[in-house]
Amino acid sequence: MPTTPSSCESNHDTSAAKKAALSGPVLTMDRGRPTHVPLSMHEYLRLAGGNASIIDVLATPDAEGVEFDPPRADIKIRQVNLSC
């Protein structure tokens, strides 16, 4: 069963709406009609179907299962001639 705060209630208690979105859908109501459905970032990424950047993926709670092993940078130091 979704949580259904009014638009006014959502504006006054955003932390409650965020917490409710972690456990299920939250339908924000305006004049008795649903107008918005806030989602957790994890749920948004799941619904978006993998169109997220690596930063978004690593920020999710399930990031422990993500393998990320970038290649090491090969930086060479060289002398610079600053004379005219």
Per-residue pLDDT in tens (0 to 9) along the chain, 84 residues: 556 655 566 566 777 777 777 777 788 878 888 888 877 777 777 777 766 677 776 777 666 666 777 888 899 998 888 887
Q: Which residues contact 4 (CB under 8 A, 6 or more apart)?
A: 26, 27, 28, 29, 34
Angstrom distance (rounded) from CA 68 to CA 50: 15
Task: Specify the pLDDT at position 9.
Answer: 64
Task: Specify the pLDDT at position 11.
Answer: 63
What is the separation of C-alpha 60 from the centre of its chain, rounded to a whole number of angstroms?
A: 7
Kindly state the greatest CA–CA separation across the chain. 75
Does the predicted model carry a pTM greater than 0.75?
no
